[in-house]
Structure 1
Amino acid sequence: MLAFVALAAAMVLTALLAVLFPLLRRSQRPLQRGEDLAVLADGLRELDAQLAAGDVGAAEHERARLELQRQALHAGQAAQARARSSQQANWAVALATAVVLPLLAIGVYLTVGQPGAIHPSAPAARSASTGAAPHVQDDAAVAALQARLARDGGDAEGWVLLARSYYQMGRIDDALSAYGKATQLSSDNADLWVEYANTLAIAQQRDLSGEPTRMVQRALEIDPNNFNALAFAGLAAFQQNDRTAALAHWQKLKALLPADTEDARRIDSLIARARGQAPAAPLAASAQAAKQTGDATIRGTVTLDERLRSQVAAADTLFIFARASDGPPMPLAAVRTRASGWPVSFTLDDSSAMAPEMRLSRFAQVSVVARVSRLGTPAAQPGDIEGRVEQVALGSKEVRIVLDRVVER
């Protein structure tokens, strides 16, 4: 009997070694990040080549480079999470096999004495964790970036990425703090100062007076021909009813823009308003009736074309805004939310107006645009997904926008 038991135990041990050795050996392999790093390096080299060739501007180059770094950060964390999950799963299987199989083979117990020691729900929990919502994974990436910057706070680009991430999450105060760190480390970046000023203006109910205006002036000192700085400086002056200064900034911007473009035509409209030559559009009868009933709003839904669904992540930002059909580029009203939960309902009204003369309620008809931004910035970038509806009347309640077009370069 003893010989039989010893032989059976030896056979079980041999079988266990044959099964467990390769299983545990696989779980100990190091993370393979070479391919991810190579992809990142190739992407950065391609961006640098495009910048050197003049195919992209400095601002677009910076945004694209930061997006590549963010994707690399997510990929690295996802790889680590998968590796940890795989290692834990392999050890769990090994432990269960090493304990349960000998007990069953030898027949010492008719049943497992402590079934609670084995948790069938654990694999399901791990599976659920790997399928966590994208915004949870994104929040984890932001937390990891924050921790890294706490250890090494000298990375200006990291602070910019953190600021933009906070902005996308609606954490405006944290975004402002991160922008402050970034501008301390990169004080000669005009676009960064404009981005900082815009975020501060949003925190101030879209008021550009005071510190935002000083930030924009700082940007113009660095780069007197910066498009964004000139546009914001003109808007800041327009908010303060300084039409002379607004006209000067916008006229300079117009001279820098290519002729016969949409941007040039919109700047023409701004210049006309600064000159007092473009009064607010007269309200149509239906819009006037909407105002009289107190319904100076536009409501509707945004849906995503099925063909483009794979190109949108739940962590992306959805901007919805109304713009004068033949007027300036700044939104008359805008909302910002996550690009998930389709269809997305929206309401536009006067609450987001940046200038008294540029309120939604002052226009009879507008264009309503919806745009999914991967970088979380309102300005359209290549790869963003957009949809629009033209000639929308004030008071409309069933506007339907389909995101069906990818923004090209």
Structure 2
Amino acid sequence: EPLSQNELQAFALALRTKLSRSGDDEVAWMLLGRVAMSLNEFDMAQQSFDKALRMNPDNMQVLISYSQVLLLEGSEANMTRAAGMLSKVLKVEPTNLDAISLLALIAYERKDWPQAKAAFEVLLASMEKSDSRYSMISERITDIEQQMQTEGSVMPVTNHTGAIAVTVDIAKELVDKQPKDGILFIFAKAASGSPMPLAAVKLAKYSFPITVELNDSSAMVAGLNLSSAENIVISARISIDDSVMPSSGELEGHSKSLKRESVSDYKLQIDTLIP
């Protein structure tokens, strides 16, 4: 059962007493930080997590908990700091749903609708429909889509050092199978890593062949972008529902694993009908 407020305060006092008597203890500092979060004592939580990270900078649990504290404070500087911590987590644990969820919230707070939508869709795809969070995340995606429609948001395309020019064409046998009013997504992901796109372009109007540029400008957080990956897979998908997640009846194509530094341009063919 959840601890009462008095029990949490007693636990915090016991942890501080232990630390003052026996010196630094990574687990004790981490626990004190979490208890402080529960008591809404965010300064104590930050100080405790700082202590734990000095002892072990790669403690993934502390990085995630610390990010939560920074997001509760809500300043742009702390959101940027939290995003950096979460990026570090995803480099080690690319499918960590807690980290992806927090990154989705950061993008949402920043009104970065395309990135927030992509992150929430990754979360939704990882859940069963019976999950209590499924409907909440689905509603959040609907809200984001309404915001994007209102503001006309698109995934940005700008010149950038280290960019990759991707030319996409479609197989002749699939030309007549294109969905009406389809939306073209062209994106790159790490070959073995985070399911989040590292760079993406979204086009509502297009004709084949078409050339676009993938670069770091559409990264959700610093450090989790095209330049951060050693090997990548480039994909193109004609979506029927404005979602980067695949659905039946959509068309797609994927590259093999590519060494990013050796690729400046790439020709990709959409050659598969998703059953």
What is the TM-score when the length of structure 2 is the normalising length? Answer: 0.46
Higher-Rg structure is 1
Higher strand share: 2
Higher helix share: 1
